């Protein structure tokens, strides 16, 4: 009898856990917004930092920055090809390593923006690892928050340019 | 004491935030409270430069404390007395404070300092007066650390609580973030990029030594030393997501406090008893404040008004000061995490950011940005007008007030 009740409780618990898990995913707005769910299945821990080495010249390969919406770390589906181009270059050049640099616009606190910039860099790294199969140990992240804008002006167009992830490739 | 302080606020303006269904009442302090007149005519000092500096510093400290005004000679509820003397390289002050109506002495004490530290002597006397009369920790002996951006170079600077004795602490000219004092007021932790990546460093100001205390892969930032000094809470991303961690400084062991895969955390700050942590998370898309226990779990959101709420500092008075985005501008707010009662301190057309409590639990230092120029200001939660801290060229921001 006792055993039977226990089984029932476990079933209820598992059911609730599933429902709650589902609720949480919905609340977070995941799925259907352009992110491969596999990217979000688990955090991909960073490996020990590597030395920067020599920067790959833009004449050899000029990666394009991935742009972000305000307060968002999601890689826009329209920008996925930029990530794929970097992945292709890294596959052709096995000795190349990457530092993904995350940046924000000047709005918001500086401390919050370094976290947001890191989240952006990690999202790009996760896409390279999960979608394109690049080894995670080849990719480091470095956030600059709002400290290194490409456009120093204070308007919407500058802010749009500054919310970005840059690819710094080294060999 | 707090009830008294609230009762002397003669008028409050109640503002309701219309945009948020869960808006709390926000009270904007509009007028001041009564101050106690102090008679300083009984202090005798030499006609020397240091004698003049001592009395001038004392007067300024008493006014800045917010509790006192300087009365005419022979009047005033608090009577100060004492003799300032100099002998070679040293200055001495034998001082007292008493209650005029009862005639009872609050205290009597002797101060000795090098002649070059006359201001410190006046600060110590002023803090004794504040404590003996108001039973509040004074702020006159405290210091403020901040980031200065001058000629495009960013470094740490510190100054006295009143803006005097500005000193440059680092000479890296590199991006640095969020300096925060240790509990004894002798060390500072902060984030610097001078080694290439954002790492957390600790500077021991008494011996001018810097040591890296967190250099994990990815982000190391937002460090705040626990009240017992034994551990540091910080943001790390080494496990693939920016989260709150506590590092035990003796064993180097890390405890992960938050695990929010779809959100970034920032700016953790310890509660005065070291049992809880307030931090920023954007788990609802916009940054808001949350409180968690030091062992993690059971996050509770505590800010609901304002589109963004960032940069919390949990004061020794139990109240949390933070920056809240309201109608497009950042303003300084104070909240009691127990009752949810919230006070908005600023309302003019400027951005007020990175607030930090003074040791008196009454004043707050923060940056005020207008036209992309940042200055530091001292605000008063009891309604005295804001006072600009520094008058040096450059951008000044991220101030942190020492705990003593």
pLDDT for B88-127, tens place per residue? Answer: 899 999 999 999 999 999 999 999 999 999 999 999 999 9
Q: Are residues B201 and B284 in the same domain?
A: yes
Flag if B175 and A147 touch (Cβ within 8 Å): yes
Q: Are residues B110 and B149 in the same domain?
A: no
Q: Of the ranges B13-22, B111-120, B322-331, B385-394, which one carries the lowest mean pLDDT score?
A: B13-22
CA distance A92 to chain B (A): 26
Q: How confident is the model at residue A9 (pLDDT cuts 50, 70, 90)?
A: low
Flag if A109 and B323 touch (Cβ within 8 Å): yes
Last residue of a domain, one of B134, B155, B180: B134
Residue of A157, A37, A167 lying closest to A96 (CA atoms): A167
Q: Are residues A44 and A78 in the same domain?
A: yes
Q: Are residues B158 and B232 in the same domain?
A: yes
pLDDT digits (tens, 9 = 90+) for B159-211: 999 999 999 999 999 999 999 999 999 999 999 999 999 999 999 999 999 99
Mutation for testing the B interface, residue in A35, A40, A107, A108 having most B CBs under 10 Å:
A108
Query: How many independent structural domains does chain B possess?
Result: 2
C-alpha–C-alpha distance, residues B390 and B61, integer Å = 16
Range of the domain at B78: 36-134
pLDDT digits (tens, 9 = 90+) for A99-155: 999 999 999 999 999 999 999 999 999 999 999 999 999 999 999 999 999 999 999
CA distance A30 to chain B (A): 9
Give the pLDDT score at A42.
Answer: 64
Q: Are residues A156 and A108 in the same domain?
A: yes
Q: Are residues A61 and A122 in the same domain?
A: yes
Sheet of strand B243-248, all strands in order from the earlier edge strand to the far edge: B220-225, B231-236, B243-248, B254-256
To the nearest whole number, what is the mean pLDDT of chain B? Answer: 92
Residues of B with CB under 8 A from a CB of A: 175, 177-178, 191, 193, 196-198, 216-219, 221-222, 235, 237-242, 261-267, 280, 282-283, 285-287, 308, 310-311, 323, 353-354, 372, 397-398
CATH assignment of the domain containing A136 = 3.30.1330.60
Give the A window 127-146 contacts with B, CB below 8 Å.
140-145
Q: Are residues A148 and A94 in the same domain?
A: yes
Q: Are residues B91 and B147 in the same domain?
A: no
Model ipTM value: 0.90
Q: How confident is the model at residue A43 (pLDDT cuts 50, 70, 90)?
A: confident
Please write down the long-range contacts of A89-96, taking CB distance under 8 Å and 24 or more positions apart.
A89/A61, A89/A63, A89/A169, A90/A128, A90/A134, A90/A138, A90/A169, A91/A132, A91/A134, A93/A56, A93/A171, A95/A171, A96/A56, A96/A138, A96/A169, A96/A170, A96/A171
Q: How confident is the model at residue B11 (pLDDT cuts 50, 70, 90)?
A: very low
Asked if the structure places residue B2 within a domain, the reply is no
CA dihedral of residues B114, B120, B121, B127 (deg, nearest 10): -160
**Considering CB atoms only, which of B216, B219, B240 is closest to A114?**
B219
Range of the domain at A21: 1-30
Q: Are residues A23 and A69 in the same domain?
A: no
Query: How many independent structural domains does chain A possess?
Result: 2
CATH assignment of the domain containing B217 = 2.120.10.30
Chain A positions touching B353 (Cβ under 8 A) are: 109
CATH assignment of the domain containing B83 = 3.40.50.10070
Flag if A109 and B353 touch (Cβ within 8 Å): yes
Q: Are residues A12 and A88 in the same domain?
A: no
Q: Are residues A14 and A69 in the same domain?
A: no
C-alpha–C-alpha distance, residues B244 and A69, integer Å = 24
Q: How confident is the model at residue B31 (pLDDT cuts 50, 70, 90)?
A: very low
Q: Are residues B105 and B154 in the same domain?
A: no
């Amino acid at each position: 009898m006792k055993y039977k009740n226990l089984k029932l409780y476990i079933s209820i618990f598992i059911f609730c856990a599933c429902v709650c898990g589902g609720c949480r995913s919905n609340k977070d707005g995941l799925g259907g917004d352009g992110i491969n769910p596999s990217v979000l299945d688990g955090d991909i821990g960073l490996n020990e930092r590597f030395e920067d080495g020599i920067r790959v010249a833009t004449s050899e390969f000029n990666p394009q920055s991935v742009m972000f919406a305000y307060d968002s770390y999601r890689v826009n589906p329209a920008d996925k090809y930029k990530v794929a181009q970097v992945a292709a270059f890294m596959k052709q050049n096995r000795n190349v390593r990457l530092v993904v640099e995350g940046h924000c616009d000047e709005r918001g606190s500086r401390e919050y923006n370094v976290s947001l910039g890191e989240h952006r860099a990690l999202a790009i790294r996760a896409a390279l690892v999960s979608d394109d199969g690049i080894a995670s140990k080849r990719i480091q992240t470095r956030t600059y928050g709002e400290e290194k804008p490409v456009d120093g002006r204070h308007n919407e167009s500058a802010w749009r340019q500054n919310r970005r992830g840059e690819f710094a490739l080294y060999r | 004491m707090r009830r008294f302080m609230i009762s002397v606020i003669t008028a409050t303006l109640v503002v309701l935030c219309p945009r948020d269904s869960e808006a709390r009442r926000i009270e904007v302090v509009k007028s001041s409270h009564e101050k106690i007149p102090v008679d300083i005519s009984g202090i005798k000092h030499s006609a020397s430069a240091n004698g003049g500096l001592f009395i001038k510093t004392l007067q300024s400290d008493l006014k800045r404390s917010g509790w006192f005004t300087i009365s005419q000679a022979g009047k005033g509820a608090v009577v100060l007395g004492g003799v300032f003397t100099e002998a070679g390289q040293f200055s001495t002050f034998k001082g007292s404070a008493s209650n005029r109506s009862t005639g009872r002495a609050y205290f009597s004490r002797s101060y000795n300092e090098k002649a070059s530290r006359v201001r410190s002597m006046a600060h110590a006397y002023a803090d004794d007066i504040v404590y003996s009369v108001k039973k509040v920790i004074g702020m006159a002996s405290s210091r403020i650390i901040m980031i200065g951006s001058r000629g495009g170079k960013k470094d740490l600077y510190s100054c006295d609580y009143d803006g005097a004795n500005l000193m440059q602490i680092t000479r890296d000219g590199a991006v640095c973030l969020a300096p925060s004092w240790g509990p004894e007021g002798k060390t500072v932790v902060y984030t610097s990029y001078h080694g290439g990546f954002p790492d957390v460093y600790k500077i021991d100001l008494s011996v001018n030594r810097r040591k890296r205390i967190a250099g994990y892969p990815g982000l190391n930032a937002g460090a705040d030393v626990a009240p017992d000094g034994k551990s540091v809470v910080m943001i790390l991303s080494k496990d693939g997501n920016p989260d709150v961690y506590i590092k035990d400084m003796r064993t180097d062991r890390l405890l992960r406090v938050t695990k929010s895969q779809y959100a970034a955390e920032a700016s953790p700050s310890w509660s005065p008893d070291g049992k809880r942590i307030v931090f920023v998370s954007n788990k609802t898309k916009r940054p808001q404040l949350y409180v968690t226990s030091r062992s993690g779990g059971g996050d509770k959101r505590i800010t609901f008004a304002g589109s963004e709420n960032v940069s919390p500092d949990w004061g020794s008075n139990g109240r949390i000061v933070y920056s809240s985005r309201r109608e497009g501008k950042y303003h300084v707010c104070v909240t009691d995490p127990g009752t949810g009662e919230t006070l908005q301190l600023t309302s003019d057309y400027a951005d007020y950011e990175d607030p930090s409590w003074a040791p008196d639990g009454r004043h707050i230092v923060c940056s005020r940005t207008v036209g992309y120029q940042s200055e530091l200001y001292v605000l008063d939660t009891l309604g005295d007008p804001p006072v600009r801290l520094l008058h040096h060229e450059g951008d000044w921001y991220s101030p942190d007030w020492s705990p003593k």
